[in-house]
Amino acid sequence: MLVNPALVEGQIRGGVAQGIGMALTEEIVYTEDGQPITEYLPPTTREVPGIEVFMLRTPSPLTPGGMKGAGESGTIGPAAAIANAVAAAVPEAAAKITDVPLTPARLWPLL
């Protein structure tokens, strides 16, 4: 049972957008003394494709009412999926793609 389906769908969509940012643009770099020196570029609606959300209901056997959390589920897959897609698209660099974000500055030297 979904307590609030619209909220869960929004969390999943937001998590996917966050995962796309982690994969392609979002990185915080610090100086040696711990000061952030990064221009942080989260994705906007222009970079995030349409997202279809499908709910698979599998109640937890461990919690009252079978409840589970859904807030982080969308953030897990995009970085690995995007890195694998880039590796498939540029096979000559595939073995060297080991970290995200895959910014142009990181990807060009691998080619």
Instruction: Write out the chain's pLDDT in tens, 111 residues.
Output: 677 889 989 988 999 999 999 999 888 889 999 999 887 778 888 889 999 998 888 888 999 888 888 877 778 889 999 999 999 999 999 999 999 999 888 889 988
Domain with residue 28: its CATH number is 3.30.365.10
pLDDT, residue 23, reads 92
The whole-angstrom separation of Cα 96 and Cα 57 is: 38
- The residue with tokens 């690995």 is 80
Q: Classify residue 97: in a domain, yes or no.
A: yes
CB 32 within 8 A of CB 109: no
Q: Classify residue 51: in a domain, yes or no.
A: yes
Q: Classify residue 91: in a domain, yes or no.
A: yes
CB 24 within 8 A of CB 43: yes
Q: Classify residue 17: in a domain, yes or no.
A: yes
pLDDT, residue 41, reads 79
Q: Name the domain count of the chain.
A: 1
pLDDT, residue 85, reads 96
pLDDT, residue 27, reads 86
Task: Name the residue range of residue 24's domain.
Answer: 5-64+74-110
Q: Classify residue 69: in a domain, yes or no.
A: no
Q: Classify residue 56: in a domain, yes or no.
A: yes
Burial environment of residue 20 by CB neighbours within 10 A (0 to 12, 13 to 18, 19 or more): buried
